[in-house]
Chain A
Amino acid sequence: MRDTSFDNKEVLDLDAGWGTAAEQEFDIESEDGTLVATAKHAARERESNAEQSVASAEWDTGFSGDGATRLSVAEKSAKEQRSKKKPGGQRTKRTVVNTIIHVALAALCIFWILPFVGILLESFRCESTGLAGYIWPKQWGIANYVRLFTETKFPRWFGSTLVMGFATAVVQTIFQLAVAYALSRNRFKGRKLLMNVMLIFGMFPGFLTLILLYTWMHDWNLTDANAMWGLIIIYTASSGMGYHIAKGFFDTISHSIDEAAKIDGATQFQIFRKLILPLSKPIIIYTILMGFMAPWGDFVMATFMANNASSGYNVAAGLQWLLTDSMKNDYYTTFCAGGVTVAVPITVLFMCLQKYYVTGVTGGAVKG
């Protein structure tokens, strides 16, 4: 137990971002400068990694609707015993409770979906364009959609957001994977410093730098009507700082693969390209998805960079602009139509890839 082998240290260091502080304490406070990973920690790490893969596996089964398969044998037998004792009471009680829960869940879901149904309905309202005290349109039509595409600059907003989505997805994925891989697989001088710098600077609110970035981009003529290009730079340049989830994933890939490849004479690049990347499909897709979706929801940076030049907006800034006090009465239903037009493709994409999304968020949350 006391011979803290190199392997143990490796496993301990595999902590994701949150491990940083703990790691650090150990390293700083080790008096004799030796590595002080305990087997206990190592075991915990391994277990939590295993736990995670189990968690995602469980999730998959849960999603296909057979949660009941989780009943363990012991549980089943216990259940049988009980139902033998009092067959009637227990079962009716359970049925009643389950019925109540079903009703509650249905109510919850209706409550959650309602605003979207509302937007959809109001987008077809033709008799008025402002706020209304009712949801069901009195006069149906697609006039709002026609207005959206002819009277506003929505096609341009949509196009530039699409470009931003693709650009951000590509660059952000490359950056995050690169940083995550470098930090996960290598122990180099300054690694901890780099991680701490990213942690500390990540805690400053991003809006703080709005004014500088605007001035800067303005000098290069990447604002106002050209805001799209400036925004791409801003979204992607520091995206390497969001490496945690990808690193957590890389940490779970066994090191023995690398070792074997190294013995066979593979370079680091080949290991990354030919071994690790093919294994990382879920996390790559997750990163792409996140990168693609980010520009669709950002209105702060987009509004600020466009600086009142409405042709430089993205969809979020543009649609929000339709709801400013002076525009609201004329464009409220147009906003609803725009919301539907944006939400439908994004939602479809998201639902197709949600499996990967779940891998990402649960991985990010569980990594301790």
Chain B
Amino acid sequence: MGKSKEQIYQITLGSGKTVPMREVLSFAYGEERYAAFTPVTQDSSSGEGEIAIARNSFGKYEVIEGDFADTLFNEFLERYEAEEAATAGKNATLSVTEYLRLNRLQKILYKTGRFFKAIPGWFAQKFKKLWQAVKNFGRKVAENVADIWTTFKNGSWKTRLSYLFMGFANYAHGQWLRGTLFFLMEAVFIFYMIFWGGYWLSKFGSLGTIAVIEKYDPILDVWTTEHVDNSFKILLYGLITIFFIVAFLYTWRLNVKQARILDEITASGKKVKSNKDDLHAVIDNQFHKTLLSLPVIGMVMFTILPIIFMILVAFTNYTFENDGYNNLFTWVGFENFNQIFAFGSKLSLSFGEILGWTLIWALFATFTNYFLGMFVAMLINRKGIRLKKLWRTLLVMTIAIPQFISLLYISNLFAENGFINGILMDWGWIDNPIPFWTDGTLAKVMVIVINIWVGIPYLMLITSGILMNIPQDLYESAKIDGANAFQQFRKITLPYMLFVTGPYLLTSFVSNINNFNVIYLLTQGGPLHYSWGAVGGYIPGDTTILITWLYGITTGAEANYAMASVIGILIFLVCAVISLILFNLMPSNKRENDYS
């Protein structure tokens, strides 16, 4: 890249506004860091943290001195512009010096303000990206179609024949291994479509019309019932057929592409790959495909297909009653979603309550465990503490014991006629049993507390190693500067830990949203809230979280599978949105160099 560009100190944004370079930099890399930014000229040797930006012939900014890449800078510039646009007119972005002059409260206010104001811009950006992805996809499809057409136009007769008989070109060039695979795919596909696929696909739109035919048998003088359509099977096999069609189209495209490549190779006079080469590639060049094949097939069959099936179920009225066998079910569009979001209905009320509690639960479960686990780890790591190994081993042992044993036992310890109430009454401290599991608020507190019991050993284990890894001289110098234990924790330990374990916190928050075991084994979701009404024969309760609700609705006496699917989709959305937001907030995501 040529360096014959002029040095830039100011950047002109899309809006026409001109801002100093240091402002963009400090936005990108944290306020303090580039507060003292001085642009360097090209000839002067640059010191650390100095940076020079120039504009190249394409009008893009380029980093010509400094330790990060151009595109990264341009990306930050884009973000800066987006934020700029979002805040324009409302609360002008403060310059770094202005910001540093604020007091602590104002700083916090300013930051939260900026955070919330950035949200619309952030969403807009995501949508822009999504739109771009759609556009890209469309472009790719168009390119492929064009390519298929030109291949046919320019190809040899062998190539043209392989449009109809897959693998013909491969055979013609002696690649019978590939040719046979292509041919088999085509044969199986046609066979399947004629005998089964067509039938399933033709019923897919209605999910069946006749469930049962009553027939009179004159010889035996009885009425017999004959089952005709089965909505469940139609939906499932219809979906499988669609999967198969997509796979076939992909293979067909591959076949055309290979025919073209074979044409090109023979035209250039080179040798085509032999069957031996192909076989060898399975353990060499293409070894990753060999490795991935089985796991990916397993995943498609047992995760992706079932999940797409259940997503489709959310748009039907599939319930215990309409089981698709005795009573057919059919498409109902967004009916189920309407029910759950209908303002003021029982269902939407209980959904709101349960969602709220799920988030509160996940928040408490994650952070209480995190901080208390870290605290215990710090206690054990402290110098002068003896028997470190013993303490750790005792705590770690509790991880090994299957949760269902310990949690079921604890649940019974706190039962009305369990040990805790028994001993408290024995000692005369209480007259009546404490309703640990039958009082809503108390039950909520109990599950959080017991979750601490479950989680601390695990967190202790994770954080111990990381804590030992913090450079000790940081603490030493802090001590010399007169920092007390809490200040050391606040200023050294915590930032370091948050930085290193940021991704872990995110995963554990999401997995706590889906923490079925603790809730189900302790309370089964109770104490029940009869006023919320039952869905699928399951009445949710005070400690019910979304995942136990889903389970209850699926396994209840009058299971409502459609509603369960709706809740499943909503759980996914909640997890996805939270992951996206938290991932963008995570310290490890920005300022990557600060602690390394």
**Known: A28-B129, A316-B402, A347-B400. Is A207-B551 also a contact (CB below 8 A)?**
yes
**Known: A38-B69, A67-B381. Is A267-B288 also a contact (CB below 8 A)?**
no
Partner of B592, one of A40, A62, A293: A40
The residue on B at minimum CB distance from A238 is B303
Which of A59, A320, A365 has the most C-beta atoms of chain B within 10 angstroms of its own C-beta?
A: A365
CA–CA, A361 and B289, complex, Å: 28
B391 at the interface (CB under 8 A from A): yes
CA–CA, A216 and B69, complex, Å: 52
B261 at the interface (CB under 8 A from A): no
Q: Is A55 a contact partner of B425 (Cβ separation < 8 A)?
A: no
Tell me which residues across on chain A come within 8 A of B502, comparing CB atoms. 368
CA–CA, A38 and B69, complex, Å: 6
Tell me which residues across on chain B come within 8 A of A358, comparing CB atoms. 461, 465
Tell me which residues across on chain A come within 8 A of B291, comparing CB atoms. 178-179, 181-182, 272
The residue on A at minimum CB distance from B485 is A97
B541 to chain A, nearest CB (A): 16
CA–CA, A75 and B477, complex, Å: 10
Q: Is B288 a contact partner of A269 (Cβ separation < 8 A)?
A: no
A314 to chain B, nearest CB (A): 10
Partner of B412, one of A131, A207, A267: A131
Q: Is B465 a contact partner of A58 (Cβ separation < 8 A)?
A: yes
Tell me which residues across on chain B come within 8 A of A108, comparing CB atoms. 376, 391, 395
Tell me which residues across on chain A come within 8 A of B592, comparing CB atoms. 40-41, 44
CA–CA, A56 and B469, complex, Å: 9
Residues of B in contact (CB 8 Å), total 131
A137 at the interface (CB under 8 A from B): no
CA–CA, A234 and B302, complex, Å: 7
B80 at the interface (CB under 8 A from A): no
Tell me which residues across on chain A come within 8 A of B74, comparing CB atoms. 29, 31
CA–CA, A368 and B504, complex, Å: 8
Tell me which residues across on chain B come within 8 A of A32, comparing CB atoms. 71
Q: Is B284 a contact partner of A213 (Cβ separation < 8 A)?
A: no
Q: Is A208 a contact partner of B564 (Cβ separation < 8 A)?
A: yes
The residue on B at minimum CB distance from A98 is B384
Tell me which residues across on chain B come within 8 A of A366, comparing CB atoms. 466, 500-501, 504
Tell me which residues across on chain B come within 8 A of A203, comparing CB atoms. 510, 572, 575-576, 579
Interface residues of B in 423-440 (CB under 8 A from A): 423, 425-426
Partner of B464, one of A40, A62, A104, A297: A62
Secondary structure of the A side of the interface?
helix
CA–CA, A240 and B392, complex, Å: 32
Q: Is A112 a contact partner of B398 (Cβ separation < 8 A)?
A: yes
Interface residues of B in 210-262 (CB under 8 A from A): 232, 236
B415 at the interface (CB under 8 A from A): yes
Interface residues of A in 102-140 (CB under 8 A from B): 102, 104-105, 108-109, 111-113, 115-116, 118-119, 131-135
CA–CA, A178 and B291, complex, Å: 5
The residue on B at minimum CB distance from A367 is B503
The residue on A at minimum CB distance from B588 is A368
**Known: A343-B405, A354-B396. Is A36-B388 also a contact (CB below 8 A)?**
no
Q: Is B408 a contact partner of A342 (Cβ separation < 8 A)?
A: no
Q: Is A113 a contact partner of B298 (Cβ separation < 8 A)?
A: no
Contact indicator per residue, chain A 75-93, by CB within 8 Å of chain B (1) or not (0): 1001000000000000000
Tell me which residues across on chain B come within 8 A of A201, comparing CB atoms. 299, 303-304, 307
B301 at the interface (CB under 8 A from A): yes
Q: Is A133 a contact partner of B418 (Cβ separation < 8 A)?
A: yes
The interface-forming segment of B60-68, B87-95, B145-153 is B60-68
Q: Is A4 a contact partner of B457 (Cβ separation < 8 A)?
A: no
A150 to chain B, nearest CB (A): 21
Which of A51, A71, A133, A188 has the most C-beta atoms of chain B within 10 angstroms of its own C-beta?
A: A133
A215 at the interface (CB under 8 A from B): yes
A319 at the interface (CB under 8 A from B): yes
Interface residues of B in 452-467 (CB under 8 A from A): 453, 456-458, 461-462, 464-466
The residue on A at minimum CB distance from B415 is A131
B555 at the interface (CB under 8 A from A): yes
Interface residues of B in 465-500 (CB under 8 A from A): 465-466, 468-469, 472-473, 476, 479-480, 500
Tell me which residues across on chain A come within 8 A of B520, comparing CB atoms. 300
CA–CA, A188 and B464, complex, Å: 37
CA–CA, A51 and B596, complex, Å: 9
Q: Is B383 a contact partner of A297 (Cβ separation < 8 A)?
A: no
Interface residues of A in 165-213 (CB under 8 A from B): 175-176, 178-179, 181-182, 185-186, 188, 194, 197-198, 200-201, 203-205, 207-213
Tell me which residues across on chain A come within 8 A of B516, comparing CB atoms. 207, 300
Contact indicator per residue, chain A 23-64, by CB within 8 Å of chain B (1) or not (0): 001101111101011111101100110010011101100111
Tell me which residues across on chain B come within 8 A of A157, comparing CB atoms. none
Q: Is B468 a contact partner of A133 (Cβ separation < 8 A)?
A: no
CA–CA, A135 and B299, complex, Å: 47
Q: Is B382 a contact partner of A101 (Cβ separation < 8 A)?
A: yes
Tell me which residues across on chain B come within 8 A of A362, comparing CB atoms. 461-462, 465-466
Tell me which residues across on chain B come within 8 A of A349, comparing CB atoms. 400
B105 at the interface (CB under 8 A from A): no
Q: Is A68 a contact partner of B383 (Cβ separation < 8 A)?
A: yes
Tell me which residues across on chain B come within 8 A of A2, comparing CB atoms. 1, 63, 69-70
Q: Is B476 a contact partner of A75 (Cβ separation < 8 A)?
A: yes
**Known: A38-B69, A67-B381, A131-B418. Is A346-B302 also a contact (CB below 8 A)?**
no
The residue on B at minimum CB distance from A27 is B71
A313 at the interface (CB under 8 A from B): no
Tell me which residues across on chain B come within 8 A of A270, comparing CB atoms. 283
B287 to chain A, nearest CB (A): 4
Q: Is A116 a contact partner of B398 (Cβ separation < 8 A)?
A: yes
Interface residues of B in 287-338 (CB under 8 A from A): 287-292, 294-296, 298-299, 301-304, 306-307, 309-310
CA–CA, A203 and B116, complex, Å: 26
A252 to chain B, nearest CB (A): 15
Q: Is B409 a contact partner of A210 (Cβ separation < 8 A)?
A: no
CA–CA, A366 and B503, complex, Å: 8
Tell me which residues across on chain A come within 8 A of B538, comparing CB atoms. none
**Known: A2-B69, A109-B391. Is A268-B287 also a contact (CB below 8 A)?**
yes
The residue on B at minimum CB distance from A359 is B465
Interface residues of B in 567-596 (CB under 8 A from A): 568-569, 571-572, 575-576, 579, 583, 588-589, 592-593, 596
Partner of A25, one of B75, B376, B504: B75
**Known: A116-B401, A347-B401, A368-B502. Is A55-B385 also a contact (CB below 8 A)?**
no
Tell me which residues across on chain A come within 8 A of B381, comparing CB atoms. 62, 67
Tell me which residues across on chain B come within 8 A of A361, comparing CB atoms. 458, 461-462
Q: Is B576 a contact partner of A316 (Cβ separation < 8 A)?
A: no
A72 at the interface (CB under 8 A from B): yes
A368 to chain B, nearest CB (A): 5
**Known: A178-B294, A237-B301, A238-B303. Is A101-B423 also a contact (CB below 8 A)?**
no
| Shortest Cβ-Cβ A-B pairs, 3 listed | A133-B422, A240-B295, A350-B400
A70-B472, A299-B404 known, 20 other contacts, Cβ within 8 Å: A22-B589, A55-B468, A62-B392, A65-B388, A72-B473, A74-B473, A104-B379, A111-B453, A112-B394, A112-B398, A118-B419, A182-B287, A182-B291, A188-B289, A211-B554, A211-B561, A236-B298, A342-B405, A347-B400, A354-B396
A and B contact pairs by CB, cutoff 8 A, 26 listed: A34-B71, A38-B67, A40-B592, A55-B465, A75-B476, A112-B453, A115-B409, A119-B406, A133-B422, A134-B422, A135-B419, A175-B298, A194-B296, A197-B304, A205-B514, A211-B310, A240-B299, A269-B284, A269-B287, A272-B291, A297-B517, A319-B404, A323-B412, A339-B405, A346-B400, A351-B400
Instruction: Write the residues of chain A forming the contact surface with B, with a CB cutoff of 8 angstroms.
Output: 1-2, 4, 18, 21-22, 25-26, 28-32, 34, 36-41, 43-44, 47-48, 51, 54-56, 58-59, 62-65, 67-68, 70-72, 74-75, 78, 94, 98, 101-102, 104-105, 108-109, 111-113, 115-116, 118-119, 131-135, 175-176, 178-179, 181-182, 185-186, 188, 194, 197-198, 200-201, 203-205, 207-213, 215-216, 233-234, 236-241, 267-270, 272, 293, 296-297, 299-300, 304, 316, 319-320, 323, 332, 335-336, 339, 342-343, 346-347, 349-351, 354, 357-358, 361-362, 364-368
